[in-house]
Amino acid sequence: MKLRAVLFDRDGTLVQDVPYNGDPARVRLMPAARESVDLLHRHGIRTGVVTNQSGIGRGVLTFSQVERVHARVEDLLGRFGTWQVCPHEPQAGCPCRKPRPGLVLAACAALGVPPEQTLVIGDIGADVEAAYAAGARSALVPNPATRSDEIIAAPVVVRDLLAAARLAVERT
């Protein structure tokens, strides 16, 4: 089936992972992030971001801080069609926190694309599992924080973000 949308994990995938980052000045892009997002947009592929932000639930961050970080990401990468955020702590048991499917399903609905026509790109197993649970496809882009068992378990592993974006373009 034809691919129409790509959902990115934020931390460790699009931008360097700075734990509980509420400061836009600390946003640093991952290698080839701009080129990857530009490639998708040139091919008419809708894009969104799905991100767990437990710092909100922990009282370390506010929604406003997270929104300012997202605005900085868009300054650097261009607009995304949707931002879906889980603000809950891991133990909250919410349906939105990855690896559950809630963020992916909400993003697909916001973009008007069914999950089976969506690719989720992330750096850890929870991203892959959320895609699978929602009925979407996944591509794992490992980084030093990715565990070896997550790499082994992932159905699709690519060397970098640009390879993931090229994979998405090939499937359109």
User: Which residue in the list 9, 23, 75, 149 is annotated as catalytic?
Assistant: 9
The answer to whether 160 is a known catalytic residue is no
The answer to whether 17 is a known catalytic residue is no
SS3 letters across the chain: CCCCEEEECCECCCECCCCCCCCHHHCCECCCHHHHHHHHHHCCCEEEEEEECHHHHCCCCCHHHHHHHHHHHHHHHCCCCEEEEECCCHHHCCCCCCCCCHHHHHHHHHHCCCHHHEEEEECCHHHHHHHHHHCCEEEECCCCCCCHHHHHHCCCECCCHHHHHHHHHHCC
User: Which residue in the list 11, 75, 123, 160 is annotated as catalytic?
Assistant: 11
Bridge partners of residue 102, in order along the sequence: none
Instruction: Choose among 30, 12, 43: nearest CA to 162.
Output: 30
Residues with catalytic function: 9, 11
